[in-house]
Structures are given as C-alpha cells and as structure tokens.
Amino acid sequence: MKRYSAFAVAREALRYHKGWGRAWRAPEPKARYDVIIVGAGGHGLATAYYLGKNFGITNVAILEKGWLGGGNTGRNTTIIRSNYLQDSSAAIFEKARSLYEDLSQDLNYNVMFSPRGCLMLAQTQSEVRGYERTAHANALQGVETEWVGPERVKELLPIINLDGPRYPVLGGLWQARAGTARHDAVAWGYARACSDMGMDIIQNCEVTGVMRAGGKVTGVSTTRGEIGCDKLGMVVAGHSGVLADLAGFRLPIESVALQALVSEPVKPLIDIVVMANTVHGYMSQSDKGELVIGGGTDSFNNYSQRGSYHHIEHTLAALIETFPIISRIKMLRQWGGIVDMTGDRSPILSKTPVEGIFVNCGWGTGGFKAIPGSGWAFAELMARGQSPLAEEFSLDRFTEGRFIDESVAAGVAH
C-alpha cells in the first residue's frame, strides 16, 4: 500500500494525481477462509482490522451485500462520546473514544476526528439529577466529564435560548474530548488497512444461508456461491435478526428506522455537539457548514431506510424552541437507517448457540462512536474466545437478568 503523506500529496499534485492506486482491492471470493465477517460496516471492518493487527489473523473475508459503509455507518450523525452510566459501557465506549484520538495516524487515513466537545442539555429536574449522577460515575470510571451550569452552557453555545417556551435550560453534562469524525472515512480507512493486510472485502455479496455440521459453523451460502470458514462473525446491525434466523437461533433485537437530516450549508454557527434529549433533537455543524440534525426512531418496527415528514416536523419544532436562530434555515435532505435495539439499550458481543458463530449487534442508535472499541473487543472475543471489554455484553445477560440499563444514555440520544 502506498502510504498517504504530505510528501505524497505534493508529488501527486505535480503529476496531476495520476499515481494514486485503488484504496482497496476487489477480489473474487476464495473457497475458504479462517474467518468470515458478515457486514462491511464500521464494526465489521474494525473487527477484521484488529483480528489482523492484534492477533495476526489475516485469512479473513468481509462479505457485504451492498457497498462498504452503505449501512448505518454511512447514515449516522457521527457523534462520538463516552459519557455512559454503567461501568461496562463506559469502559468500551471510552476505549473507542481513546482509539479515535489517533485513529488517523494508526490507519494512515484521515478520519477527521474532531474532539470539539459534546454538551447534553438538562431541561428538567430529573435530567439534572441524572446527569449529575453520570458525572460522578464518569469520575470514578476515569471518563472526563463535568456538570456545567446555565452560564457555562451559554458560553459554549451563544445561540442557545436558555428560557425556552416549555423547558428552561438548567445546565448540562459536558465532555470536552467528545466530538465527531467523518463516518465514510472511518469505514474507508479500516477497509484500506484490511485490504492491505491481505483480507478480502467482497461487496455485492449477500449472505443467504449459514452452513452448519454437528452444531458447528462450516461456512455460508451467498449470492456469489458457497464460502467455507472456521469462524463466522455476524456484524449486520439492523439485519442481525435476519442473519440469526438463517443460523437457526433468535436474538432479543428489534429493528427500526432511525432518521436524520441536514440543512443547507451556513457560516459557522455552532462549534460543539449539542443534544437536547427532553425535547428530543441534537445538532452539530459539519465541515461543509451543514447543520447535522438527528431525529428519533420510528414508533413501529420496520426495514425501510427512508425518512418521513412527521419526524422532520417534530425534530425541528423541538430544536427551534431551544435555538430559534435556525428557524429560517432551509433543509437539504433527510434519510433513515435500520438500527438494532435491545431491551436494555446496550450492545451484544457474544458467542452464540452455534459453535464458531459470534454476534456483534444491538448498538442501536449509538454505535458509530463505539466502532474502534467494539472492533477491538470483538476481535479478541473471536480470536481468544473471551474479552474483558465484551464479557458483560454476552447473550446470557438476557436469560440471567443482568441487564446493562443505558436507557438514559442511549435510548433517546446518539
């Protein structure tokens, strides 16, 4: 792989950029791999990357039914934070956030991590209590967050209306090293590094069946033929239930569309990420100047990757009462992605009833921020059969009643 550098950019500029190679290969599938990962979203690609980097396992195929990064990874609003309440959640999300800090250097690919800070507004007394509690929990977990009062909120966000018509702003939970990254670049950076290690990323290859013998996985059937493997990682977000069905077991997952929208580009207006969970809306400004705005999930289970009018109306009404300045900005486009929701709003990284099959799903509305940490932990689970970061997130918790309740940190927000 040709490394990207300032020198390479200058050299290519002088020769009209004719010397750049493909970022990743487009190979034909082999008959067999040590490991197959289903789903070339951020989590699948990161898993493959850390299998190679941390465990030297490179005879790996990543199978993708569409194009890599075309699922939720390419549809999310890119918020990265680790201010979760429970210890196991804070550990994996903080691992991810800290890996994001130097992911561009690690992958030799600019993922545009921007630790601009994230503010979660408290607009009711119960939110105040909840976020103060989270700030204390985070202090014990080694996650740097702080509770801030309304004056500091106004300093961080001059465009805010602290005395909204329904809910005044009472303060907020501030994480200074939270932020955003470029979602496509995260997928592309991992893909390039995986391909460079000799892994095969096979796009337009849908897994249509899971082959088993004696309770153990032996391979998958796909739209491009049968492919054998020793281990199979299912990392397909909203389609996890479909894949599990093919493998003969069920998952405690519901699939539902989550929506977002962006405005026309405007001059710099807001230089942090802000989330208003009581009225339900959140916002940041992209490098191009668009306001990136997150809405809610549909209230019924579905597999449609579309936006809908009532979500725009609801989300914008909520944000305009807190940020009246955006009332006259034009909206550019909206979309949806299929997210995988568990009952306790925490992910599943687990072995399954079929030997050799591992599942990584349930990241719901908030898994972009987790990609590096999830890939790190899931690779360890697949390679060694156990991982300290993934331990609490096994499927057993649903039968043993060990829920990791993150409904405040993850149920509404992203």
Residues that bind ligand FAD (CB under 6 A): 38-44, 63-66, 70-73, 75-79, 206-207, 235-237, 239, 243, 258-260, 294, 337, 339, 363, 365-369, 414
Cα–Cα distance, 305 to 308 (Å, whole number): 10
Question: Cβ 40 to ligand FAD, closest distance in Å?
Answer: 6
Q: With respect to ligand FAD, which residue has the nearer C-beta, 356 or 367?
A: 367
Q: With respect to ligand FAD, which residue has the nearer C-beta, 153 or 178?
A: 178
Q: With respect to ligand FAD, which residue has the nearer C-beta, 71 or 281?
A: 71
Question: Cβ 30 to ligand FAD, closest distance in Å?
Answer: 17
Question: Cβ 41 to ligand FAD, closest distance in Å?
Answer: 2
Question: Cβ 326 to ligand FAD, closest distance in Å?
Answer: 18
Distances, alpha carbon 118 to alpha carbons 78, 138, 174, 273, 317, in Å: 12, 15, 6, 5, 21
- Contact (CB, 8 A) for 217 and 356: yes
CB atoms under 10 Å from CB of 170, counted, come to: 17
- 3-class secondary-structure state, position 105: helix
Question: Cβ 120 to ligand FAD, closest distance in Å?
Answer: 13
Angle at CA of residue 42, ends 41 and 44, nearest 5°: 65
Amino acid at site 58: T
Q: With respect to ligand FAD, which residue has the nearer C-beta, 326 or 348?
A: 348
Cα–Cα distance, 304 to 301 (Å, whole number): 9
- Contact (CB, 8 A) for 260 and 76: yes
Question: Cβ 299 to ligand FAD, closest distance in Å?
Answer: 15
Question: Cβ 250 to ligand FAD, closest distance in Å?
Answer: 16
Cα–Cα distance, 148 to 135 (Å, whole number): 10
- Contact (CB, 8 A) for 399 and 251: no
Amino acid at site 126: S
Q: With respect to ligand FAD, which residue has the nearer C-beta, 4 or 42?
A: 42
Q: With respect to ligand FAD, which residue has the nearer C-beta, 12 or 184?
A: 184
Strand partners, 61: 36, 200
Q: With respect to ligand FAD, which residue has the nearer C-beta, 4 or 359?
A: 359
Helix residue spans in 108-182 (DSSP H)? 125-141, 150-156
Q: With respect to ligand FAD, which residue has the nearer C-beta, 156 or 262?
A: 262
- 3-class secondary-structure state, position 218: strand
Question: Cβ 23 to ligand FAD, closest distance in Å?
Answer: 17
Nearest to 177 by CA among 92, 134, 113: 113
Q: Is 405 left (phi over 0), alpha (psi -120 to 50) or beta?
A: beta
